[in-house]
Chain A
Amino acid sequence: DAEITQSPRHKITETGRQVTLACHQTWNHNNMFWYRQDLGHGLRLIHYSYGVQDTNKGEVSDGYSVSRSNTEDLPLTLESAASSQTSVYFCASSESVGLGSSYNEQFFGPGTRLTVL
Protein backbone atom coordinates (compact mmCIF):
# COMPACT_ATOMS: atom_id res chain seq x y z
CA ASP A 1 0.00 0.00 0.00
CA ALA A 2 1.13 3.54 -0.72
CA GLU A 3 2.22 5.51 2.30
CA ILE A 4 4.08 8.54 3.57
CA THR A 5 6.82 8.04 6.15
CA GLN A 6 8.93 10.34 8.26
CA SER A 7 12.22 9.72 10.02
CA PRO A 8 13.33 9.96 12.66
CA ARG A 9 10.12 9.89 14.72
CA HIS A 10 11.85 11.52 17.68
CA LYS A 11 15.04 13.54 17.81
CA ILE A 12 16.86 15.52 20.44
CA THR A 13 19.59 17.86 19.28
CA GLU A 14 21.61 20.81 20.52
CA THR A 15 21.37 24.44 19.60
CA GLY A 16 23.46 25.27 16.54
CA ARG A 17 23.54 21.79 15.03
CA GLN A 18 22.29 21.06 11.54
CA VAL A 19 19.37 18.64 11.48
CA THR A 20 17.65 16.96 8.56
CA LEU A 21 14.19 15.42 8.80
CA ALA A 22 13.27 12.94 6.11
CA CYS A 23 9.94 12.59 4.34
CA HIS A 24 9.26 9.83 1.82
CA GLN A 25 6.00 9.12 -0.01
CA THR A 26 5.11 6.27 -2.32
CA TRP A 27 1.87 7.84 -3.61
CA ASN A 28 3.79 9.36 -6.55
CA HIS A 29 2.23 12.72 -5.62
CA ASN A 30 3.48 15.90 -7.21
CA ASN A 31 2.81 18.07 -4.16
CA MET A 32 4.63 17.82 -0.84
CA PHE A 33 4.43 20.03 2.23
CA TRP A 34 6.14 20.53 5.56
CA TYR A 35 4.16 21.87 8.52
CA ARG A 36 4.99 22.42 12.14
CA GLN A 37 2.52 22.09 14.99
CA ASP A 38 2.83 24.09 18.19
CA LEU A 39 0.49 24.70 21.10
CA GLY A 40 -1.25 27.99 20.63
CA HIS A 41 -0.35 28.23 16.95
CA GLY A 42 -1.82 25.10 15.43
CA LEU A 43 -0.36 23.87 12.17
CA ARG A 44 1.71 26.25 10.08
CA LEU A 45 3.32 25.85 6.67
CA ILE A 46 7.13 25.82 6.50
CA HIS A 47 7.95 24.92 2.88
CA TYR A 48 6.21 23.25 0.00
CA SER A 49 6.91 21.79 -3.44
CA TYR A 50 4.66 21.28 -6.44
CA GLY A 51 7.12 19.09 -8.32
CA VAL A 52 10.73 18.05 -8.80
CA GLN A 53 13.12 21.01 -8.55
CA ASP A 54 10.27 23.24 -7.33
CA THR A 55 10.41 24.60 -3.76
CA ASN A 56 8.58 27.49 -2.12
CA LYS A 57 8.63 29.24 1.24
CA GLY A 58 5.70 29.08 3.60
CA GLU A 59 4.72 31.40 6.42
CA VAL A 60 7.40 30.19 8.89
CA SER A 61 10.34 29.33 6.62
CA ASP A 62 13.14 31.24 8.38
CA GLY A 63 15.88 28.83 9.49
CA TYR A 64 14.60 25.97 7.32
CA SER A 65 15.40 24.75 3.80
CA VAL A 66 14.16 21.99 1.51
CA SER A 67 15.22 20.43 -1.76
CA ARG A 68 13.25 18.24 -4.18
CA SER A 69 15.46 16.07 -6.35
CA ASN A 70 12.89 13.34 -6.98
CA THR A 71 9.13 12.82 -6.66
CA GLU A 72 9.27 10.68 -3.51
CA ASP A 73 11.35 12.76 -1.09
CA LEU A 74 11.27 16.22 0.46
CA PRO A 75 13.88 16.47 3.25
CA LEU A 76 13.63 19.39 5.64
CA THR A 77 16.90 20.87 6.93
CA LEU A 78 17.33 23.07 9.96
CA GLU A 79 20.52 24.92 9.14
CA SER A 80 21.40 25.84 12.74
CA ALA A 81 18.84 24.49 15.18
CA ALA A 82 17.32 26.91 17.69
CA SER A 83 15.18 26.25 20.75
CA SER A 84 12.29 28.01 19.00
CA GLN A 85 12.31 25.16 16.48
CA THR A 86 11.31 22.61 19.12
CA SER A 87 8.06 21.34 17.66
CA VAL A 88 6.25 18.47 16.01
CA TYR A 89 6.87 18.38 12.27
CA PHE A 90 4.44 16.89 9.77
CA CYS A 91 5.07 16.12 6.16
CA ALA A 92 2.12 15.79 3.76
CA SER A 93 1.50 15.09 0.11
CA SER A 94 -1.32 15.51 -2.38
CA GLU A 95 -2.01 15.01 -6.05
CA SER A 96 -2.87 17.77 -8.50
CA VAL A 97 -6.14 16.72 -10.04
CA GLY A 98 -9.20 18.67 -11.14
CA LEU A 99 -10.86 21.26 -8.95
CA GLY A 100 -12.74 19.76 -6.03
CA SER A 101 -11.62 16.21 -6.74
CA SER A 102 -11.45 13.93 -3.74
CA TYR A 103 -7.94 13.07 -4.86
CA ASN A 104 -6.85 16.48 -3.66
CA GLU A 105 -6.97 15.47 -0.01
CA GLN A 106 -3.64 15.71 1.75
CA PHE A 107 -2.07 12.60 3.26
CA PHE A 108 -0.01 13.25 6.36
CA GLY A 109 3.01 11.44 7.70
CA PRO A 110 3.14 10.28 11.35
CA GLY A 111 5.15 13.30 12.49
CA THR A 112 8.61 13.92 13.93
CA ARG A 113 8.95 15.27 17.44
CA LEU A 114 12.06 17.47 17.55
CA THR A 115 13.55 18.86 20.74
CA VAL A 116 16.32 21.44 20.55
CA LEU A 117 18.22 21.86 23.83
Chain B
Amino acid sequence: KNEVEQSPQNLTAQEGEFITINCSYSVGISALHWLQQHPGGGIVSLFMLSSGKKKHGRLIATINIQEKHSSLHITASHPRDSAVYICAVPSGGTSYGKLTFGQGTILTVHP
Protein backbone atom coordinates (compact mmCIF):
# COMPACT_ATOMS: atom_id res chain seq x y z
CA LYS B 1 0.00 0.00 0.00
CA ASN B 2 1.30 3.41 -0.88
CA GLU B 3 1.88 5.67 2.09
CA VAL B 4 1.25 9.32 1.31
CA GLU B 5 2.60 11.98 3.65
CA GLN B 6 1.91 15.70 3.45
CA SER B 7 3.62 18.56 5.21
CA PRO B 8 2.87 20.79 6.89
CA GLN B 9 -0.47 19.69 8.32
CA ASN B 10 -1.42 23.29 9.08
CA LEU B 11 -0.15 26.43 7.42
CA THR B 12 -0.97 30.06 8.19
CA ALA B 13 0.16 32.85 5.90
CA GLN B 14 -0.34 36.54 5.28
CA GLU B 15 -1.86 37.68 2.03
CA GLY B 16 0.76 37.94 -0.69
CA GLU B 17 3.12 35.30 0.73
CA PHE B 18 4.53 32.42 -1.32
CA ILE B 19 3.16 29.08 -0.13
CA THR B 20 4.66 25.60 -0.48
CA ILE B 21 2.95 22.33 0.43
CA ASN B 22 4.88 19.09 0.17
CA CYS B 23 3.80 15.53 -0.59
CA SER B 24 5.88 12.37 -0.49
CA TYR B 25 4.87 8.80 -1.24
CA SER B 26 6.45 5.41 -0.69
CA VAL B 27 5.74 3.43 -3.88
CA GLY B 28 6.45 4.49 -7.46
CA ILE B 29 3.46 5.90 -9.31
CA SER B 30 2.42 6.95 -12.78
CA ALA B 31 0.81 10.24 -11.77
CA LEU B 32 -0.15 12.33 -8.76
CA HIS B 33 -3.25 14.41 -8.04
CA TRP B 34 -3.57 17.67 -6.15
CA LEU B 35 -7.06 18.43 -4.85
CA GLN B 36 -8.62 21.42 -3.11
CA GLN B 37 -11.47 21.39 -0.58
CA HIS B 38 -13.01 24.59 0.74
CA PRO B 39 -14.63 24.56 4.20
CA GLY B 40 -17.93 22.72 4.01
CA GLY B 41 -17.45 22.31 0.32
CA GLY B 42 -16.79 19.75 -2.29
CA ILE B 43 -13.49 18.50 -3.65
CA VAL B 44 -12.01 19.94 -6.81
CA SER B 45 -9.15 18.56 -8.85
CA LEU B 46 -6.39 21.13 -9.29
CA PHE B 47 -3.73 19.13 -11.11
CA MET B 48 -2.86 15.68 -12.26
CA LEU B 49 0.78 15.39 -13.22
CA SER B 50 3.16 12.63 -14.15
CA SER B 51 6.38 14.60 -14.63
CA GLY B 52 7.91 18.04 -14.43
CA LYS B 53 5.74 21.01 -13.67
CA LYS B 54 2.24 22.31 -14.34
CA LYS B 55 0.95 25.85 -13.84
CA HIS B 56 -2.56 27.18 -13.56
CA GLY B 57 -2.88 30.82 -12.66
CA ARG B 58 -1.08 31.35 -9.33
CA LEU B 59 -0.82 27.62 -8.66
CA ILE B 60 2.23 25.59 -9.64
CA ALA B 61 2.67 21.86 -9.09
CA THR B 62 5.95 20.02 -9.49
CA ILE B 63 6.83 16.36 -9.23
CA ASN B 64 10.09 14.42 -8.95
CA ILE B 65 9.29 10.82 -9.78
CA GLN B 66 12.75 9.53 -8.78
CA GLU B 67 12.57 11.15 -5.34
CA LYS B 68 8.85 10.28 -4.91
CA HIS B 69 8.04 13.87 -4.03
CA SER B 70 5.69 16.57 -5.22
CA SER B 71 5.14 20.18 -4.22
CA LEU B 72 2.25 22.57 -4.64
CA HIS B 73 3.15 26.26 -4.71
CA ILE B 74 0.83 29.24 -4.47
CA THR B 75 2.25 32.58 -5.51
CA ALA B 76 0.84 35.85 -4.16
CA SER B 77 -1.51 34.03 -1.79
CA HIS B 78 -4.99 35.43 -1.19
CA PRO B 79 -7.59 34.77 1.53
CA ARG B 80 -9.73 32.93 -1.02
CA ASP B 81 -6.92 30.35 -1.24
CA SER B 82 -7.81 29.27 2.30
CA ALA B 83 -8.77 25.61 1.96
CA VAL B 84 -7.57 22.09 2.57
CA TYR B 85 -5.09 20.87 -0.05
CA ILE B 86 -4.84 17.15 -0.56
CA CYS B 87 -2.42 15.11 -2.59
CA ALA B 88 -3.42 11.68 -3.82
CA VAL B 89 -1.81 8.86 -5.77
CA PRO B 90 -3.52 6.20 -7.90
CA SER B 91 -2.74 2.56 -7.30
CA GLY B 92 -2.48 -0.43 -9.57
CA GLY B 93 -0.02 1.11 -12.03
CA THR B 94 -2.65 3.26 -13.69
CA SER B 95 -3.18 7.01 -13.64
CA TYR B 96 -6.98 6.70 -13.51
CA GLY B 97 -7.49 4.22 -10.69
CA LYS B 98 -8.52 4.31 -7.08
CA LEU B 99 -6.72 6.91 -5.01
CA THR B 100 -4.79 6.87 -1.77
CA PHE B 101 -4.85 10.27 -0.10
CA GLY B 102 -2.58 12.28 2.12
CA GLN B 103 -4.03 13.69 5.31
CA GLY B 104 -4.38 17.14 3.81
CA THR B 105 -2.85 20.52 4.57
CA ILE B 106 -5.11 23.15 6.10
CA LEU B 107 -4.13 26.53 4.66
CA THR B 108 -5.35 29.78 6.17
CA VAL B 109 -4.43 33.04 4.47
CA HIS B 110 -5.04 36.21 6.47
CA PRO B 111 -5.68 39.58 4.81
Contact = CB atoms under 8 A, between A and B. Distances in A.
Contact of A43 (B30, B94, B101): B101
Interface string B43-81: 111001111000000000000000000000000000000
B30 A106 contact: no
Interface residues of B, number: 27
Contacts of B101: 35, 42-44
A2 B102 CA distance: 28
Given A42-B102, A104-B31, A105-B33, A95 B86 contact: no
A108 B33 CA distance: 13
22 contacts: A35-B99, A35-B101, A42-B102, A42-B103, A42-B104, A43-B99, A45-B100, A92-B43, A95-B96, A96-B94, A96-B96, A99-B95, A100-B48, A100-B49, A101-B95, A104-B90, A104-B95, A105-B48, A108-B44, A110-B42, A111-B42, A111-B43
Considering the complex of A and B, which 8 residue pairs feature the smallest CB-CB distances, nearest first? A100-B50, A104-B96, A108-B43, A105-B45, A43-B101, A104-B95, A105-B48, A110-B42
